[in-house]
Structure 1
Amino acid sequence: MSPARVMVVDDHPVVRDGVALLLRAEPALAVVGSAESGRAALERAPALRPDLVLLDLRLPDMLAPEVVVGLRQVCPAARIVVFTAHGDHHGVQAALDAGAHGCMIKDAAATDLVAALRRVLRGERVVDARMVPGEAGNRAALARSGLTRREYEVLRLAAQGRTNPEIAESTGLARNTVKTYLQSALHKLGARNRVEAIGKASEAGLL
C-alpha cells in the first residue's frame, strides 16, 4: 500500500523542513510538496494531489478558512489539518467551520502528530484537546484538575463508552499506556473507578 501524500503549507521554511524530516521516518506518510502561502497552495495542490494538507493557521496572504475553502474546491478528496502555534485563536473554529478535518498545535509531540494525521486519514475529526472549547472542554477547568492533555483525551473517550482497546485504537496509544493515563486521571480526580472519574470530571465542567 502506497503512503498517504502530504502537502505542508507554512510560510516558515523551518516548519516545512521540520515536518518533512519528521515524516520521513513514517512509512505510511510521505511529504510530496509544500507551499509558503495560501495562493501557492491552491496553485500547486492540483498537481501534487495530496491526500492530506497540513495548513498553517496564519499565512501572509490569506486567512486559513479561505485556503480551506479553496483546497476543498481544487482537491475535494484531500483531508485538511490546521497546524498552529495559536491554540485559542478564533481562526481555529473558523477553519473547522470552513471544512478543515482537524487542528493540531505545533508543539505536539511527534508521535501525537503522526497519530492524529493517521486518524484524520481514517476519516476521523481530530482537534487538539487544548484548543476549541466546544471540542476540548473548559481549559480553565482542565488546568484546575491537573490533568494532562493526554489524560483528558483518554478520559473523554472513556466517557463516550469506549473500552481501553478501542481508546488505544482511536488514539494510536498502546493499551498499557491507555491504562496508565486512566489510572493517573482517576488519582488526580480522587476517583475509585472510571464511572466515578467521569462523574467528577462532568461536575468539574470537563465533559
Structure 2
Amino acid sequence: MAEQVIRILIVDDHPVVRNGISGMCASVEDFTVVGEAGDGPEAVRLTLSLDPDVVLMDLRMPGGGGAEAIATLTRRGSQARVLVLTTYETDRDIMAALDAGATGYLLKDARPEELFTAIRAAAAGESVLSPAVATRVISRVRSSGAEALSQREVEVLTLVARGRTNREIARALFVSEATVKTHLGHVFDKLGVKDRASAVATAYERGVLGT
C-alpha cells in the first residue's frame, strides 16, 4: 500500500531558510511542500486555503509572529498540525506557542532526520519537543502548585513530551500499551485536558513534568 503523503506549509521570513527546508523536504518520498509564507498573516491565509497536514512555523517574523498565527488558526478550527521550527527557546516563546495550540516545538539546529521524524509525528498528532526544550520543561518541575502526578505518570508524560508513541513508551518502561493508555488517561484527568498535545502544553504552564 502506498505511503500517505504529508502535505507541508513552510513559514519563515527568510527566503533562504524556506528554500533550504523546502529542498530537504522535497528529498523525502512521503513529503510534499504545498506552499511557503513569510509572516504570520500569510501563514494563516495559506493554511486555511491549502489545508496542509503540517505547518512548519517560525515564531518571530516582521509583519506578524508565529504564536499569533497559531492562535488564529486554533480559533478558526484549522485541522493542520503546527510544528514550531525556530532558533528561540525561551520559556516565554515556548509557552506562547504551546498555549496557542502548537503540536510541537523544534529548534533549527535539529538534524534533517530529526526534522523528518518530527514532521511525521506531528502529522500523526503526536507532541514533539526538541531535546533542549524538553530539558527546559524538566527544569521547571518544582514551580508548580498543580495536582501532583504519580512518578509513573510523570515518566509517561515526559516521554510523550519527547515525541514517543504509546508503543515506544511501553517498551521504555517495560509495561503494556494498555497500561500506558491508563496512565495517560489519569494524566489527562489530573491536568484537565483531552489530548497529548494539550497535556504537554499544560505541563509547561504548570511545571508538572519531571524525570
The TM-score, its normalising length taken from structure 1, stands at 0.65
Alignment of 1:149-164 (within 5 A): 162-163=170-171
Could you say which structure has the larger radius of gyration? 1
Question: What residue number does 2:139 align with?
Answer: 138
1:95 to 87, 94, 97: 97
Structure 2 gap ranges (5+)? 141-157, 175-208
1:115 to 114, 117, 133: 117
Return the structure number with greater relative CO, CA threshold 8 A, min gap 6: 2
| One-letter code aligned to 2:35 | G
8 A contact 1:9–1:54 mirrored in 2? yes
Question: What residue number does 1:27 align with?
Answer: 29
Q: Could you tell which deviates more after superposition, 56-65 or 90-99? A: 56-65
Identity %: 33
Task: Give the secondary structure class of the aligned counterpart of 1:86.
Answer: coil
Alignment of 1:1-207 (within 5 A): 1-74=3-76, 76-131=78-133, 136-138=137-139, 162-163=170-171, 207=211
Deviation at 1:10, TM superposition (A): 0.4
Distance 2:52 2:77 in 1: 8
Q: Could you tell which deviates more after superposition, 56-65 or 79-88? A: 56-65
Structure 1 gap ranges (5+)? 140-151, 167-204
Cα 1:66/1:3, change in 2 over 3 Å: same
Cα 1:5/1:45, change in 2 over 3 Å: same
| One-letter code aligned to 1:35 | A
The TM-score, its normalising length taken from structure 2, stands at 0.64
> Aligned-pair RMSD on alpha carbons?
3.0
